[in-house]
């Protein structure tokens, strides 16, 4: 859990170096299906994906609302707030990420716009 919490702290600080330290070189990220992107493989490509997304916002603050562990997986419910870089308009969304870890490194992540789908993917129930 501490590795996943460190990830969100690094992401909020836009500390790419620290994010890279937390992930294996062969990490895979599967974005929420509504994003329209397929699986992204490799630390540099995953960091590039998140950096590109973050560049759309002048401010972005991920807040971990709940964390659940099961075996080598960590399910995180997030509240993400911020404002767009072009419009300055504020936003707030609630999403979920499911992370798989090996040897204290992130090896796989998957994004969900629907928390129930995330619970199901993790083999958990509300």
Cβ contact 4:67 at 8 Å: yes
Each residue's pLDDT tens digit, 5-32: 999 999 888 899 999 999 999 999 999 9
Contacts of 4 (CB under 8 A, 6+ apart): 64, 67, 74, 76, 99, 101, 106
DSSP 121: H
Each residue's pLDDT tens digit, 45-66: 999 998 888 888 888 888 999 9
**β-pairing, 90-102 with 73-84?**
antiparallel
Distance CA 105, CA 3 (A): 8
Answer whether residue 73 shows pLDDT above 90. Answer: yes
A 10 A CB-CB count for 28 gives 18
């Amino acid at each position: 859990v501490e590795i996943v919490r460190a990830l969100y702290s690094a992401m909020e600080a836009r500390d790419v170096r620290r994010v890279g330290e937390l992930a294996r070189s062969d990490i895979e990220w599967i974005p929420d299906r509504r994003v329209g992107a397929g699986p992204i493989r490799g630390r540099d490509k995953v960091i590039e994906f998140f950096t590109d997304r973050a560049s759309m916002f002048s401010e972005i603050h991920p807040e971990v609302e709940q964390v659940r562990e099961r075996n080598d997986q960590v399910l995180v419910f997030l509240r993400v707030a911020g404002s767009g870089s072009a419009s300055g308009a504020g936003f707030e969304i609630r999403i979920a990420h499911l992370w798989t870890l090996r040897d204290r490194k992130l090896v796989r992540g998957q994004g969900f716009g629907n928390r129930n789908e995330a619970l199901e993917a993790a083999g958990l129930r509300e």
